[in-house]
Structure 1
Amino acid sequence: MNKKPLIIFWSVFLIGILLVVFFFAGVSKGTFGFMPSFEELENPQSSLATEVYSSDSILLGKFYYQNRSFVKYEELSPYLVDALIATEDVRYKEHSGVDIRGLMRVLKGLATGNKNAGGGSTISQQLAKMLFPREHFKNKLDIVFRKFREWVIAVNLERSYTKEEILTMYFNKYDFLNLAVGIKSAANVYFNTTPDSLKIEQAAMLVGMAKNSSYYNPLRRPELTLERRNVVLSQMVKYDYLSSQQYDSLKNTPLGIDYQKVDHKRGMAPYFREYLRTSLTANKPQREHYPTYAYQRFVEDSLEWENNPFYGWCNKNQKADSTPYNIYKDGLKIYTTLDSRMQKYAEEAVSEHLGLDLQKAFDREKEKHRNPPFSDDLSNEDVEHNMELSMKRSERYRVLRKKGLSLDSIREVFKTPIKMKIFTWTGERDTLFSPNDSMLYYKGFLRVGFMSMVPQTGEVRAYVGGPNYKHFMYDMVTKGKRQVGSTIKPFLYTLAMKEGLSPCDKVPNIPQTFILPDGTPWASRNSTSKKTGEMVTLRWGLAHSVNNISGWVLKQTTPESVVAMAHKMGVISRMDPVPSIFLGTSEISVYEMVGAYGTFADKGVYIKPRFIEKIEDSKGNIIAQSIPQKREVMSEKTAYLMTNLLQGVVQRGTGIRARLKYGLNNPIGGKTGTTQNHSDGWFMGVTPELVSGVWVGAEDRAIHFEEIRLGQGANMALPIWALYMQKVYADKQLNIYQGNFEKPRGMILNLNCDDSSDTKNKDLKQSEEEDFF
């Protein structure tokens, strides 16, 4: 018997086996191209979005390179799992990464020319492609080697993870387009829901997109996407995941897209989210990075860096691998102090007052002006100069200068009309505007800054930095500063209460003269002749914002003491210690003012406003937690006397509109503020459990109401606060206390001042208009 053929056969067979073994061993070691290491397979890198949550667990927004959020297997709708297996890999639970039967089916299809034979890639192989994307191939041989590498990766994935974990990774990794990366984002973007709440037809559509999301795009090709969804449903019927009756019912249903556009400029609290982003990623302040004129900003940023653990948090803290945290890809969860309901009420209050009332009144007044929206006290030359400066401060100007265009050429560009969308209070409008037209148009809109805080904890509950973030991106809560007008006077009156005076003490309502350092006399001046020359209570003086009384109080102390008190109460802005300090010419932010006024409600203890409760990493571990920063500024008695003084403002003074028009009759303290030419309107509202501040004004101080009737703080700012409080009190779930300020134990003092000669409610107009410096 000739054994030679047999020996040759078995030799070739064994050599073939060995070659296959050595080949796959080489593939595993990366001989034929990149192969992930064991560590990379165990910890595949994915860019996960950081999620920002409100205190009542509502997702406010995300920071990301890719809009991907991780979900667990338990959070997946079972319809998703069934649809994916039925459509992409019906033997998924039986194979170990490579489906030999599926490969045979593909080879048979190639041999017979049957294009409907199906694909051979398992779910694990598809995941391998997503985790380790294909590189650029020079020839077809590279593609073959890549396929073999995918097999090896798929088998290794099956060894490293359970079937459930692989499915979860698949859904978390896939890009569903339209900034919907991963199933959590896709469920929200296309259906405004969560993965565990997806209906059968919704799950089928998303699984159908997995074949080619660019082709089966429900926003661009809804008909094709619908067809593909029904293919998925039919596959579910074929493999007994769905009954024929269910299919017949579902196949005719529309896609039902509820598209949620992903845009950081949209959604709830965009100014707040942007503040968090810039604050968390801030670098340590370096003087050389600040212009000469921005020294004060450098000082303030340096104080934040040293005293606020969350300012520059990403650069102050490192992960286990010694790299800094990255809010765009580390999948953090930031739990903030904001309450989504109160934020909603604040945004609604701004829209209602500015959009439905104040802006219309402002526009009507400006129709008669020579150069609207600028006041007529500006000459034509002043207006031209103002517009030239605005042009040079714009991003468009900087880009054109960088390209080397001359000033004259740039001016021509700014005069050339282009198509653009502009903001209106009734929605965006398409128009043809030149950049100059656009600048002038937006200058005519009134801006706003609003913040609301719990005084006992410092937790900020609502934050509105402007009328619309997309079109007015400058934040007027923490970034912008404006003159505060008479809202500064409580700092002065605090010193009087601290030195033993009481709200009912009477002082003369006469001009107070101060000698300036250069020897020039300067005297206080009231905006009304009411009770001039009479003895009036301090409570009456603050209630009606009478400058003569503030001047008298200042003479009992010093301007330097007022500045020191303001700084103790959280004001970090520069304040000049001059006799006119009580007129409020100092420029301070809403953030600082709310923190300072919180001291009165918190029984004399200042607490720094807080925006973040805690931060968790992608695995749910707490890696940062907020600790309240407190300091005692005044005694409980002094703080209580100040709340009594502030209540007088609302009961009979410049803030009386809160009671008479808006029906807020519970114990409320407040202070209005109006600056020169009515350029700025303020209102600070103080209740036992909530302190809020509002500023309203135009971008440019040369743009303002002409009459104090419209331009005072009681008309510009107070209504926003009042509308907000109405909504907050109406929401019983918030359970905001409406009772009295707590009186210090053992305090015996008569605070029922004899102001019976006051005209009380009948002179609302005059009472409000006295708030003016």
Structure 2
Amino acid sequence: MKKYFNDPQYREQLLQRSRGFLRKYRKHFFALLGVLLLLMVVYYQYIISGLPSLEELENPKPELATKVYSVDGEILGTFYSSKNRMYVPYDQIPQHVVDALISTEDKNFYSHWGVTPWRFLRAMVKNLLALRLKEGASTITQQLARNLYGFQQANENTFDKATRKFREFFTSVEIEKNFTKREIVEMYLNEIYFGRSVYGISAAAGMYFGKPVEELTVSEGAMLIAVLNNPAYFNPIRHPERATARRNLVLALMVQEGRLSPAQAEAARNEVLVYSSNEEAPLGLAPHFVEYVRQQLRDKAEKYGFNIYREGLSIYTTLDSRMQAYANRAVDEHLLEKQEQFNKIWSWNRRGAVLERIVDRAARQSSLYRRTANKDSILAVLKNDQGFIDSVKQIAQSIEVGFVAIDPKTGGIRAMVGGRNYRTFRYGLNHVTQIRRQPGSSFKPFVYTVAIDNGYPPSYELNNQPITINMEDGTEWRPQNFEGDVGGKSTMRSALTNSLNLVTVRVITDLVTPDQVVEYATRLGIKSPIPPYYSISLGTAQVTPLEMTSAFGVFANEGVLVEPNSILRIEDKDGNVIEENIPERKEVLSKETAYIMTNMMEDVINLGSGLRIRNFFHYPAAGKTGTTQDYADAWFVGYTPQLAAGAWVGFDDQSVNFNSADGQGGRAAAPLFGRFMKYVYEDKTIPITQPYFKMPNGVERDTICADTKKLATEFCPVKMTEIFNSKYPPAKCDLHISNDSLDTGDPTEF
């Protein structure tokens, strides 16, 4: 080195040597430089090829979850493909949340134009020296670009990361050109991931704290911003100490930036945060109903061209969250009691063939059986696995339920419990809409409706005696009363109250026809096929709980059918109405007939097979119990002046049944109706608009003779009150026409 500085000739030799080297390798140098420039051009083209288009920049389309709302404004559920996100405008986001974000993530946000070049270059140099690319130097706008346009991919190498950083850089500049700072903050807080499968501040507020974003406190808002740094690491549910330390750092930074006073920060640090109890996304109050809505939306998507999983629709439904909560409570309480009773009397010991069939079916449906090639071997193993057999037994003997409540005036479904598994249900069988079972005696009101509508009064008498009906196939049908008893004559009112099968069969044979019963049942809303046989009078046709409940709602609604419905309105993410449903009203029965049937079915609850309802509910109500062969299905369908509700209770496998009087509709289903109505009517936030059934002008109340069941004369010794259609007044009593016809004492009226 000393020689270089002291010897000019030596320096000249070195210079000549270097010039010779350059002359010798000049072509190679320029070739290499050209290649590098070409690679830079190609790389630049590669970078810009992955940038969003002008249309995508000006109209970003984040993936938004569709929200399902109850009629009283509660969120029942969401539909999304991969990102549970609910968009919320800037004005609804508390200012302290914005302040926490700016103070923590990008304190110079309002002064830069999307990027900070010197920070970016400094970070890139450090990364090159470290021979690896770290995250860092990202502004809020750069983070938004990364999330909004999907720049970040899984399993990135160093080249991919460098490319992404450049794309974020260019895109951030373009975002700042197209949007205001306020709009960027709004997009960021609606786009960013907060952990626990939720995206955006609105979904995060609901998931972590169970409240809307507008109600977040300073401490809660700071905690959500703290989570952003690493949602898994700073999850406040699983790692409260880490999350709290990070939250406190956010508060300190807010104080440092002058966005929060020390006193406010201290108060926020001392606030005890209460987190939502569900670690995973909650299934909501009414999962069977939400899935029922989703199935309808799937069909509507083709008609309107929307995507229910990505476009942030708002679905406004008929369900009332308060009534749904009461339905869930009633089901829980009822099944707890009935399951305990059933487990005490049920035994598999005498049902070996049934158990073998059920175990075989369960084994064949198991994932292990479906996945394996050696199916016979797996089948043999499972059939001899006592643990597997015990689990199959438990499932098979679990009592199932389908319960639905409808507003008969609008047809709106107010509550739906499609099974005992409502806490865990996502997809599967809905016992309100997807099962068809024989309704038993709960079908009888349709038979009596035809007779009443044809002019027969409730007091009309028929023989409660054995009857034999010759069937078309040459066989004979000999129906019996439930208890096997017989008697003399019975009025239609008494026969319905006490569920007398023999009298009901005589109504369909003597007063009406099977075809008429089918016509009326269909007119009232039964859509399931009903064969026109005499046996339908005892409920042998299979129907769903939803259509039965809707049909009974016609009686409550003075003869007007409003088809059951669940969706009131569909709006896009901007609030534009896509579809609005106004239910159609159709008069299918006269007011007079509807009221007379109601009056008769009130006796079922007050005096007859539905009497257990009065252990819970004491307002006016009407309805009918139903029980099928071997106590396999228990039904109660009924209504008040403002709500119709139906309950089916039974088993998925019909080989399993109650097999005792505990399986009667009056015991196994009616109390569920009673519990639900009790809770609804006790809730003062649910207005009782009409507590009593109103008798229309065309119905008259008068006294009839207890002996002849005709209009009483002054000489009738025993009288009773009855109602009838004024178009079809009963004849005058022709037995007691003078004092000479009196057998005993003074006339009596009841």
TM-score range (shorter-chain normalised) is 0.7 to 0.9
Check conservation: 1:234, 1:247, Cα contact below 8 A.
yes
Task: Describe the SS at the equivalent of 2:430.
Answer: coil
**1:381 aligns with one of 325, 337, 353:** 353
Q: Which amino acid letter does the alignment assign opposite residue 714 of structure 1?
A: G
What runs of 5+ residues in structure 1 fail to find an aligned partner?
Answer: 1-21, 282-311, 319-324, 418-433, 759-773
**2:505 aligns with one of 544, 548, 551:** 551
Query: Do the aligned partners of residues 202 and 560 (structure 1) sit closer, same or farther apart at CA in structure 2, a change above 3 Å counting?
Result: same
Query: Do the aligned partners of residues 549 and 234 (structure 1) sit closer, same or farther apart at CA in structure 2, a change above 3 Å counting?
Result: same
Distance across 1 between alignment mates of 2:98 and 2:68: 28
Asked whether 1:628 is paired with 2:615, we answer: no
Name the structure 2 match of 1:122.
139
**1:408 aligns with one of 377, 380, 383:** 377
**1:315 aligns with one of 278, 284, 302:** 302
CA drift at 1:146: 3.5
Task: Give deviations 1:545-580, integer Å, cap 9, x for gaps.
Answer: 101210111112222222222122211223222222
CA drift at 1:691: 0.7
Check conservation: 1:573, 1:588, Cα contact below 8 A.
yes
Task: Describe the SS at the equivalent of 2:84.
Answer: coil
Distance across 1 between alignment mates of 2:274 and 2:553: 48
**Which entry has the higher C-alpha Rg, 1 or 2?**
2
Name the structure 1 match of 2:321.
340
Asked whether 1:73 is paired with 2:90, we answer: yes
**1:98 aligns with one of 111, 115, 122:** 115
Query: Do the aligned partners of residues 248 and 744 (structure 1) sit closer, same or farther apart at CA in structure 2, a change above 3 Å counting?
Result: closer
Task: Describe the SS at the equivalent of 2:101.
Answer: helix
Check conservation: 1:28, 1:152, Cα contact below 8 A.
no
Asked whether 1:719 is paired with 2:671, we answer: yes
Q: Map of 1:438-457 to 2, 5 A cutoff?
A: 438-457=391-410
Query: Do the aligned partners of residues 100 and 314 (structure 1) sit closer, same or farther apart at CA in structure 2, a change above 3 Å counting?
Result: same
Name the structure 2 match of 1:167.
185
Task: Describe the SS at the equivalent of 1:560.
Answer: helix
Distance across 1 between alignment mates of 2:693 and 2:503: 25
Distance across 1 between alignment mates of 2:698 and 2:436: 41
Aligned identity (percent) is 38
Check conservation: 2:602, 2:621, Cα contact below 8 A.
yes
Name the structure 2 match of 1:669.
622
Q: Map of 1:20-419 to 2, 5 A cutoff?
A: 32-65=48-81, 66-100=83-117, 102-103=119-120, 119-132=136-149, 133-135=151-153, 140=158, 143-251=161-269, 256-263=274-281, 266-281=283-298, 312-318=299-305, 325-355=306-336, 357-366=337-346, 369-371=347-349, 376=350, 378=351, 380-392=352-364, 394-396=365-367, 400-413=369-382, 415-416=384-385
Distance across 1 between alignment mates of 2:268 and 2:156: 45
Distance across 2 between alignment mates of 1:45 and 1:61: 22
Asked whether 1:469 is paired with 2:422, we answer: yes
Name the structure 2 match of 1:286.
none
Distance across 1 between alignment mates of 2:440 and 2:641: 24
CA drift at 1:751: 7.7
Task: Give deviations 1:70-116, integer Å, cap 9, x for gaps.
Answer: 01101112111001111111121122212356558868999999xxx
Q: Which amino acid letter does the alignment assign opposite residue 207 of structure 2?
A: V
CA drift at 1:678: 1.0
CA drift at 1:713: 0.6
Check conservation: 2:408, 2:643, Cα contact below 8 A.
yes
CA drift at 1:23: 13
Task: Give deviations 1:216-236, integer Å, cap 9, x for gaps.
Answer: 232343322222222211111
Query: Do the aligned partners of residues 493 and 139 (structure 1) sit closer, same or farther apart at CA in structure 2, a change above 3 Å counting?
Result: closer
> Which stretch shows the higher mean deviation, 224-233 or 486-495?
224-233
What runs of 5+ residues in structure 2 fail to find an aligned partner?
Answer: 1-37, 710-717, 721-750
Distance across 2 between alignment mates of 1:453 and 1:675: 24
Asked whether 1:535 is paired with 2:485, we answer: no
Check conservation: 1:343, 1:461, Cα contact below 8 A.
yes
Name the structure 2 match of 1:646.
601
CA drift at 1:32: 4.4
CA RMSD after TM alignment: 3.0
Name the structure 1 match of 2:462.
507
Name the structure 1 match of 2:7.
none
Check conservation: 1:28, 1:149, Cα contact below 8 A.
no
CA drift at 1:187: 1.2
Check conservation: 1:614, 1:625, Cα contact below 8 A.
yes
Task: Describe the SS at the equivalent of 1:334.
Answer: strand
Q: Map of 1:487-636 to 2, 5 A cutoff?
A: 487-528=442-483, 532-555=486-509, 556-636=511-591
> Which stretch shows the higher mean deviation, 341-350 or 404-413?
404-413
Task: Give deviations 1:623-654, integer Å, cap 9, x for gaps.
Answer: 01113133332222221221122112112111
Check conservation: 1:191, 1:258, Cα contact below 8 A.
yes
Distance across 1 between alignment mates of 2:292 and 2:520: 27
Task: Describe the SS at the equivalent of 1:696.
Answer: strand
Task: Describe the SS at the equivalent of 1:203.
Answer: helix
Check conservation: 2:358, 2:392, Cα contact below 8 A.
no
- Give the TM-score normalised by structure 1: 0.80
Q: Which amino acid letter does the alignment assign opposite residue 234 of structure 2?
A: Y
Query: Do the aligned partners of residues 471 and 248 (structure 1) sit closer, same or farther apart at CA in structure 2, a change above 3 Å counting?
Result: closer
- How many residue pairs get aligned? The number is 665
